Structure 1
Amino acid sequence: MGNPSTALGKRKSTRPIILSSDEEGTNKARKNEDSNSTFKDATLRKSHRVSSEKRFTKLARLNSVNDVLTGRSKTSRPLHSIALHSAASLLLLRDHLLAWYDKVKNIRGMPWRKDYDSRLSGEAQSQRAYEVLVSEIMLQQTQITTVIPYYNRWMDAFPTVKALSKATIEDVNQRWKGLGYYSRAARLLAAAQKVVEELDGRFPHTAASMEKQLPGVGRYTAGAVCSIVFNERSPAVDGNVQRLLSRLLAIHAPLKGSNAKAPLEAIWKAAYDLVAGTDRAGAFNQALIELGSTVCKPTNPTCGACPLIQGCTAYQLSEGIVVERAEKDTDIEDLCTMCEPFPDTSSVVTRYPMKIEKKKAREESCAVSVIKYRTNQDRWFLLIRRPEKGL
């Protein structure tokens, strides 16, 4: 059978162990201490693991963001921080832009382009405002080379805002003939009549008041006129500046349509931040327009000639340069919600601004009746003026 004590020693005893009150308290304390120690160790391990995971996730997210933005990743959704679209990196380059503009401003021979002069009288300022307003409205939808001869002939016919205000719509349309979009001429006439008849021949000095008071004058035109003529620090964002800033800030979002509000406001805010810190507001706005028109072109931009290349986010990303501002997307609240996925993995400056799929032109059918009266010497046609709105 063997030794009974040895056999019993290998067997678990079912006999209850009775402890004194002192021993029981000591054991409970020891168990609590062991439990607390285990909890602390587990908490530290968890904290270390979470901290490591955060660091790894942050690093992975940063690498992923820059891989996506520089085209090294096949992921087409450009997740990044809203800080990527800040104009802060451009603020120190404003003097570079103005120095570049001073060298090129007279190359294209625009007769309306003159330096700001603070010594002009109120009457002379209004004359300058009239000249700039005419040029800006003519330049809508029309190339500069086409506008210059039309502008010169217009100023010969209507040299002052008062002279224009006395003209008829037939006179105005005759001088406008060939420029197209005749509604622009009608708006210009209406604005001149408002200035002469209600504003004592003087143009408003601020963009907000000009946009509010003059018919046919929008946000861009008001900002351009008031910055150029009155040196008001108001932004002027036309199509060229939209394209330029969308690249400088790497904004890949629609600039037209129902989803364009947020990206356009971001561009206008950047334009305001840039012009707000300069003493040459008009020259600065014209420099942005000139740069977008001649250097940062829709296709084949000449990036090497750009005075803002050091602050251009699109150029940096196209060259595979990591943009440190993308690292700030540590919180979900900081992520950009404007930008749309890229259509491919290529990384080029011209992917900005976002390409918009053009809608097919609407086709309509209509019947036209031509009434002609003919004599031996002449032919006469019956004409009816088109409505103010609609087709």
Structure 2
Amino acid sequence: MGYSSAKPSLNNCSEPEQVVRLRAQLLEWYGRMGRDLPWRRTRDPYAIWISEIMLQQTQVKTVLPYYQRWLAALPTVAALAAAELEAVLKLWEGLGYYTRARNLHKAAQVIVKEHGGVFPETAQQLQQALPGIGRSTAGAIASSAFGRCEAILDANARRVLGRLFAVGDPPARAEAKLWEISQRLVDPQAPHNFNQALMDLGATVCTARSPLCLLCPWQVDCLGRRSGDPTHFPVRPARAVRSEIAGVSVAIECQGKFLLVRRPERGLLAGLWEFPFVESVGGGEPEETVRVAFGNRLESLERLGQVEHEFTHRHLTAQVLRAQWIAAPAALPKVFDCREHTWQPPECWLKFPMPGYVHKICKLLKEALPKVSVD
């Protein structure tokens, strides 16, 4: 790029004048432009923790209604610890990455049982004591709830700091440098505001593809901007190859009730409920796939359509069939009998926590079968 020879060392970040200036510029910008978000109006570590976990790989606009509903239903860490996992997953339904919800539930029980309901206050203590809390999340909670001078390095902060100091190292090597920069820069007098400002700057100005450099409080110091292509920094990890999942979801009816099965406790969509799903092998017809899985237990197979759903690194395509169960309700194939299952009428389906693709199937069933109500 014809720029590397002018690139300064990271020691520049430790120069007192520059550090003081960068802190002041960012905090002044945040005072004018910072977003008014509900978790910024509290110092309750529980509420802040919930927001930070929800915000992992999820946009603020998506999180807001979930956050409000969650706190209305489970206002304290004790309430979360005492809740049934099923209720927790139902509240989380639609946010994705369901392991986050399961870890919230586990961590709440740890806080209540082992810490007397009191949150650890330092980032290190939070990481060591609670499942599902990484270094950046721990820093955000400790700085926001307890005023600790702890650094963060979420995706937004990583992008801002990587551009500010033109960190062009491969991702694995860049990580240590970026953490060092973040820790040097965080304002010990206002760590909460500084970290929140850093996240806001990345979310609203220093965006991934089209940074608004002229609106940035750090534009004069930004080495990425001086390079002529700030989007070059930091170097992004290679994208994971997206895998395809293809199969058949079959809505099996027996005396007005339909079979729901619970997914295994580990893996994709762990612990959520779905209609029996059978992965296709060799591209066979959906009816044949279902007959192989269920033998002679089904009749009146009817195609209702197809649903598709995007996960982070997976794309699911499900052919949807309806069928009548003609065996005894307990005579399930082993693959489903070994999983928790239940027969439920359509009006009860939505009481169960389900992934997004199953909600699409419910909608398809409602459209195809007018007498079926899933409201």
Say whether 1:311 aligns with 2:221.
yes
Offset of residue 379 of structure 1: 2.1
Which residue number in structure 1 is paired with residue 113 of structure 2? 197
Say whether 1:113 aligns with 2:23.
no
Q: What are structure 1's unaligned runs of at least 5 residues?
A: 1-66, 70-77, 116-124, 319-347
Let me know the Cα RMSD of the aligned residues.
2.2
Which residue number in structure 2 is paired with residue 362 of structure 1? 243
Residue 159 of structure 1, aligned match among 61, 75, 78:
75
Which residue number in structure 2 is paired with residue 374 of structure 1? 254
Alignment of 1:71-86 (within 5 A): 78=4, 83=9, 86=12
**Is this contact kept in 1: 2:209–2:231, CA < 8 A?**
yes
Give the distance between the partners of 2:264 and 2:188, measured in 1 at CA: 47
Which residue number in structure 2 is paired with residue 353 of structure 1? 234
The 1:300–1:382 alpha-carbon spacing in structure 2 relative to 1, beyond 3 Å, is closer
Which residue number in structure 2 is paired with residue 68 of structure 1? 2
Say whether 1:294 aligns with 2:228.
no
**Is this contact kept in 2: 1:191–1:214, CA < 8 A?**
yes
Alignment of 1:212-227 (within 5 A): 212-227=128-143
**Is this contact kept in 2: 1:136–1:221, CA < 8 A?**
yes
Which residue number in structure 2 is paired with residue 267 of structure 1? 178
**Is this contact kept in 2: 1:236–1:285, CA < 8 A?**
yes
Q: C-alpha offsets along residues 174-231 of structure 1, whole Å, 9 cap, x if unaligned?
A: 1111111111111111111111111001000100011000111110110000001111
Give the distance between the partners of 1:357 and 1:197, measured in 2 at CA: 41
Residue 102 of structure 1, aligned match among 11, 31, 49:
31
Q: C-alpha offsets along residues 20-69 of structure 1, whole Å, 9 cap, x if unaligned?
A: xxxxxxxxxxxxxxxxxxxxxxxxxxxxxxxxxxxxxxxxxxxxxxx721
Query: Which SS does the other structure have where 1:215 is aligned?
Result: coil
Give the distance between the partners of 2:260 and 2:253, measured in 1 at CA: 8
Q: Read off the aligned partner of 1:114 and give its amino acid letter.
A: R
Q: C-alpha offsets along residues 291-315 of structure 1, whole Å, 9 cap, x if unaligned?
A: 1111101122111111112221112
Alignment of 1:247-262 (within 5 A): 247-255=163-171, 260=172, 262=173
Q: Read off the aligned partner of 2:2 and give its amino acid letter.
A: V
The 1:173–1:364 alpha-carbon spacing in structure 2 relative to 1, beyond 3 Å, is closer
Query: Which SS does the other structure have where 1:316 is aligned?
Result: helix
**Is this contact kept in 2: 1:84–1:250, CA < 8 A?**
no
**Is this contact kept in 2: 1:172–1:185, CA < 8 A?**
yes
Q: Read off the aligned partner of 1:272 and give its amino acid letter.
A: Q
Query: Which SS does the other structure have where 1:372 is aligned?
Result: strand
The 1:82–1:312 alpha-carbon spacing in structure 2 relative to 1, beyond 3 Å, is closer
Q: Read off the aligned partner of 1:193 and give its amino acid letter.
A: Q
Which residue number in structure 2 is paired with residue 172 of structure 1? 88
Give the distance between the partners of 2:195 and 2:163, measured in 1 at CA: 17
Query: Which SS does the other structure have where 1:112 is aligned?
Result: helix
Give the distance between the partners of 2:257 and 2:221, measured in 1 at CA: 65
The 1:139–1:369 alpha-carbon spacing in structure 2 relative to 1, beyond 3 Å, is closer
Give the distance between the partners of 2:59 and 2:210, measured in 1 at CA: 18
Give the distance between the partners of 1:299 and 1:382, measured in 2 at CA: 42
Give the distance between the partners of 2:235 and 2:82, measured in 1 at CA: 45
Q: C-alpha offsets along residues 120-174 of structure 1, whole Å, 9 cap, x if unaligned?
A: xxxxx6xx10001000111112111111111001000001111111101100011
Q: How many residues align?
A: 266
Give the distance between the partners of 2:109 and 2:145, measured in 1 at CA: 20
Give the distance between the partners of 1:179 and 1:189, measured in 2 at CA: 15
The 1:81–1:383 alpha-carbon spacing in structure 2 relative to 1, beyond 3 Å, is same
The 1:282–1:199 alpha-carbon spacing in structure 2 relative to 1, beyond 3 Å, is same
Give the distance between the partners of 1:369 and 1:316, measured in 2 at CA: 54
Q: Which has the higher helix share?
A: 1
Q: Which has the higher strand share?
A: 2
Residue 65 of structure 2, aligned match among 142, 149, 160:
149
Alignment of 1:45-64 (within 5 A): none
Q: C-alpha offsets along residues 104-133 of structure 1, whole Å, 9 cap, x if unaligned?
A: 22x4x4111127xxxxxxxxx6xx100010
Which residue number in structure 1 is paired with residue 264 of structure 2? 386
Query: Which SS does the other structure have where 2:137 is aligned?
Result: helix
Q: What are structure 2's unaligned runs of at least 5 residues?
A: 270-375
Give the distance between the partners of 1:228 and 1:363, measured in 2 at CA: 40
Query: Which SS does the other structure have where 1:193 is aligned?
Result: helix
Q: C-alpha offsets along residues 249-308 of structure 1, whole Å, 9 cap, x if unaligned?
A: 1011332xxxx1x21010000000011x53001111111111111110112211111111
Q: Read off the aligned partner of 2:254 and give its amino acid letter.
A: R
Give the distance between the partners of 1:350 and 1:161, measured in 2 at CA: 40
